[in-house]
Amino acid sequence: MTLIDSDATLEPLEFAVTKNLTAKNPSERAQILADPGFGAHFTDHMVDLCWSQKGGWHRPRVQPFGPISLSPAAAVLHYGQEIFEGIKAYRHADGGVYTFRPDQNAKRLRRSARRLALPELPTEYFLQSLRELIAVDADWVPSGDDQSLYLRPFMFASEAFLGVRPANKVAYYLIASPAGAYFTGGVTPVKIWLSEHHARAAKGGTGAAKTGGNYAASLLPQSEAYENGCDQVVFLDPDGNVEELGGMNVVFVHADGTLVTPASDSILEGITRDSILALAEDRGHTVERRSVSLQEWRDGVASGDIVEVFACGTAAVVTPIGELRAEGFTDTQPTGTLALELRKELTDIQYGRAEDRHGWLVRLDA
């Protein structure tokens, strides 16, 4: 697999490594890994890299995980110039630590960077940052069923400047957080609230970039979902078509076996979705990426033409949607077996239990 595109000639970075002298001991770590939850515990180290207009990417470091020193005038705190990624590391039965399609996350981080007027981190540096963190924190990759180490790369405007323009100083960080099985006691269908008064993305906006602002915009409607007894929100795009959930893409399964997923330039293109659809195509399913109106969804469910609806993303992998609720209606969604079959097929590849025929896995600890 070719991981490197335009930056094939870059020299690897020389990371300065400072070990954490107060790292968790093996029994403290084992206690956390026994029930890590999601996003609540962090490994002993983090990686960081600076960028400046003059010096480009510089000062690569591996440091103890801890607070970041930032000027109160740092542009990110005022104007939200920030992007991130989400990717997992998996422990295989042979003890090795693998990750899944990291070249795609690197590419998406570059696309997000362009939209937020941030510098593009070379793909090779992105991959090196993952390897450097695993080199010091590999023991944090859990080995339990459906457990993983969630890797969170992010980049933000660190320049102390209140004028409005792209920052001349930027920081890239990588932190990691052990993650437990998303569903304990079996995958259960989620209830989805239709957000009719709030959008997450505007036409020509930042919907296709993985940036904190999109999430900030989703929090109020998410609270509305909870108040209405739902787990997640589905957003409509600027034309009123089905877009996605706050952090997961949506796929509709039709009676003839066709899988349809919304396409629009306000949707974040998920790597999980792309992989699930590739596995479905391998099985002979037709895949369509096109606009899907709310009416088409509701009519399809009513007529029986839509036989399954699911959401997908790195954190939960694949989640069947069991109900769509809105102010004026509640539509029970049909449930089938394809979503869970594809989920199993994908996680079997990720955890090394099935052949990686697409060459999606990359070993990080060797």
Ligand X SMILES: *Cc1c(COP(=O)(O)O)cnc(C)c1O
CB of 306 to ligand X, least distance (A): 21
Residue located via tokens 């955890």: 351
Nearer to ligand X, 265 or 299 (CB): 265
Joined together, the tokens standing for residue 204 give 């020509």
Q: Across the strands, what pairs with 241?
A: 293
Stretch that binds ligand X, among 29-37, 114-122, 183-191, 241-249 (CB under 6 A): 241-249
Site string for ligand X, 265-284 (x = CB under 6 A): ---x-xxxx-----------
Pick from 148, 177, 241, 249 the residue near ligand X by CB under 6 A: 249
Nearer to ligand X, 124 or 243 (CB): 243
**Residue 164, token pair as written in the block:** 């409005």
Stretch that binds ligand X, among 62-70, 245-253, 341-349, 351-359 (CB under 6 A): 245-253
Going by C-alpha positions, the residue among 263, 262, 191, 181 that lies closest to residue 222 is 191
The distance from CA 284 to its chain's CA centroid, rounded to whole angstroms, is 27
Count other Cβ atoms within 10 Å, centred on residue 80: 15
Q: Is 153 in the site for ligand X (CB under 6 A)?
A: no
Provide the minimum distance between the beta carbon of 162 and ligand X in the complex, in angstroms, as a whole number: 28
Q: Which is nearer to ligand X, 75 or 248 (CB)?
A: 248
73's CB contacts (< 8 A; 6+ apart) are: 160, 161, 162
- Counting contacts by CB under 6 A, is residue 248 touching ligand X? yes
Length of the chain: 366
Chain position whose Cβ is nearest to ligand X: 270
Q: How do 249-254 and 330-332 pair as beta strands?
A: unpaired
CA torsion through residues 195, 197, 199, 202, sign: positive
In the complex, least distance from residue 346 CB atom to ligand X, rounded to whole angstroms: 10
In the DSSP assignment, the letter for residue 119 is P
Q: How far is CA 105 from the centre of its chain?
A: 8
Q: Which residues contact 199 (CB under 8 A, 6 or more apart)?
A: 217, 235, 236, 237, 238
Size of the site for ligand X (CB under 6 A): 14
Q: Taking CB under 6 A as the rule, does residue 243 contact ligand X?
A: no
Q: In sequence order, which ranges of the chain are alpha helices (DSSP H)?
A: 26-34, 75-79, 102-115, 123-137, 212-227, 271-282, 294-303, 338-350
Q: Using CB under 6 A, which of 86, 205, 213, 262 touches ligand X?
A: 86
* Nearest-approach distance from CB 4 to ligand X, in angstroms: 20
Q: Min. distance of Cβ 175 from ligand X in angstroms?
A: 16
Closest distance to ligand X from the beta carbon of 271 (Å): 4
Site for ligand X in 200-219 (CB under 6 A): 210, 214
3-state secondary structure of 30: helix
Choose the binding region for ligand X from 51-59, 242-250, 322-330, 348-356 (rule: CB under 6 A). 242-250
Q: What single DSSP character describes residue 67?
A: P
From residue 102 to residue 141, the character string flagging contacts with ligand X as x (rule: CB under 6 A) and all else as - is: ----------------------------------------
Q: Which amino acid is at 227?
A: E
Min CB(247)–ligand X separation in Å: 4
Q: How far apart are CA 87 and CA 153, in angstroms?
A: 8
Give me the residues that bind ligand X (CB under 6 A), please: 86, 210, 214, 244, 247-249, 268, 270-273, 313-314
